[in-house]
Amino acid sequence: MVEQRALAGARVLIVEDDALSAHVAQEMLAELGCSVTGVAASVDQALHEINNEKQLDCVMLDVRLGRELSSDIATYLLQQNLPFIICSGYDIKLPGMNIPVVDKPYTVAALAQALSLAMTQKAL
């Protein structure tokens, strides 16, 4: 798989409040050869991780983090020109925006495609 080779060594932050979903994401990222820089379960924790991580290639962003929404994180990532994907169990549509969305439950192939797309778009 081309996406898998392209993702080898990519440093990814997981923003997910559900421990099982975060664990599954970590396993999938490892299968793709990615390095997980951390797991953040809240908006504050995610922003802290993003600001303190020097080498970050992409962020996996869940829409709902407990009672919080991740829109502040998404806005910050856009301002910082950091690539991210949205992973959600909700039917998310972002017309006019080039942010890859992966519907939960997702497959390794779908995750690889979304991550590759996000990181490629940043490079353009």
Tell me the pLDDT tens digit for each residue of 98-110.
789 898 899 999 9
pTM to 2 decimal places: 0.91
Is it true that domain 2-123 has CATH number 3.40.50.2300?
yes
Q: Are 121 and 98 in contact (CB under 8 A)?
A: yes
Q: Are 46 and 70 in contact (CB under 8 A)?
A: yes
Q: Are 56 and 13 in contact (CB under 8 A)?
A: yes
For residue range 35-55, list pLDDT tens digits in order: 999 999 999 999 999 999 778
Give the SS3 label for residue 73. helix
- Give the Cα separation of 63 and 34 in Å (integer): 22
Q: Are 34 and 12 in contact (CB under 8 A)?
A: yes
Domain boundaries, the chain: 2-123
